[in-house]
Structure 1
């Protein structure tokens, strides 16, 4: 057993099924890697779906505690020397596991990051081409990354104080780099990240996620109070002033804005709808940071 692929999930049954089909159909023998699904309290029939994969998947259910706790659970029970992380909305290519293992064979102390390509194509996520917007400088992004288990344990695992969406992987990445690990790219390890198209039905979920990400950004800064963290998270006074100016009076939250967006969607003006949706998402992120300030500065 060379590797353990850890996948935390919460109510993503439909896309998770595609994730599991891809990760259990790899270019390396089945015997050298395992797949561990940590179900963080799903209520959508995830357990029943995973059962269809029989012995190929180790399924663990836990009460909802967040992604950091779910991944830690997976790390502790993992049998592989190398831990590979993907999210439950990532559909990987056929050489994914092989590409990660090859990099670790060459580099003992490595954080290996693969490519993540964003797509809204549910039927065939792997048909998406790479775009400039898919570029990432993250040192450790758990949508597609791997590290030897011994270094994760030495670094202290994920900080479970990050109990909402966002930043727990970058925070652990700082601690891994402090151990002397280096960042390595695995261009043949590709994950296609499914993001549903922006819609009126899905927008509340997206807003909630951005609010949580903003809140966790403040926690991330308090644990890593550096200029780089400020710039990465936008947690700095100039960004707050700019957001206040752009969203003067909190117009993204107005009922009138909701009605305008409904009209834009019905009339087929998709670009304008997405434009307003982006302002709402930015506003939600900064509201989350303001909540984080109130909570973590006590």
Structure 2
């Protein structure tokens, strides 16, 4: 009896010892996995931070140069944090050439806002037709619309200029705004891809209730497409705000200039370009785009992500 009891106790001790070793091994594996996960996460953060700094380097250099006096602009090694900071550069950049900068800002804002409204309305209507309506030759027509994206602006620039000259639209905002009220291929593509992700059962239910195609577009598709519409609006605003070549071609009067033309005039009106003033003016020109993206980045990223889910 005593031998059986001692054997039983030995088995229990071995079992406890084995359980302790298994638990210790499990904890070691879990701890090693946790450390490996933290290491991978740390490496990812370091790489993302490094890439972010590399991408932000031109912008940081522009802002740094905008705050430098003339003597520090080309100093080697460069000073990223100049002393003192010359905030006067921003005022001089806006006034040194004697240009009515407020008028140029107003012209640019008018062109950008009207262009954005036209692109969003027209492109969404065309995209709705390609995504939700059934008609003969729909896919072939969509491919034809996309094929126009392969035409470089240098090919269509002269024909457009001749057309607007015949219409008497030169030296006005009409060539910069009205064409975008007829849709833009890239924006049509983005919106069509997003509209395809919306279930067509919603359309069928609305048609059963007597809704027309236009009512479906206005009351169902548009409210569900805010991310894609915001993405298109941001793309269009940035394009119109920074457009230089086409406004420079069609606008002759100085009072109708835009901010990019004003920025390009720095090199033409100064015998020796003052790079700190040029960078100050560039910083001011970029601010509206940065503010717009900052307040709508969630919708922008969501719209970019969802527009490629289905094709």
> Could you state the TM-score of these two structures normalised by the residue count of structure 1?
0.22
- More helix as a share of residues: 2
- Whose relative contact order is higher, 1 or 2, with alpha carbons under 8 Å and at least 6 apart? 2
More strand by share: 1
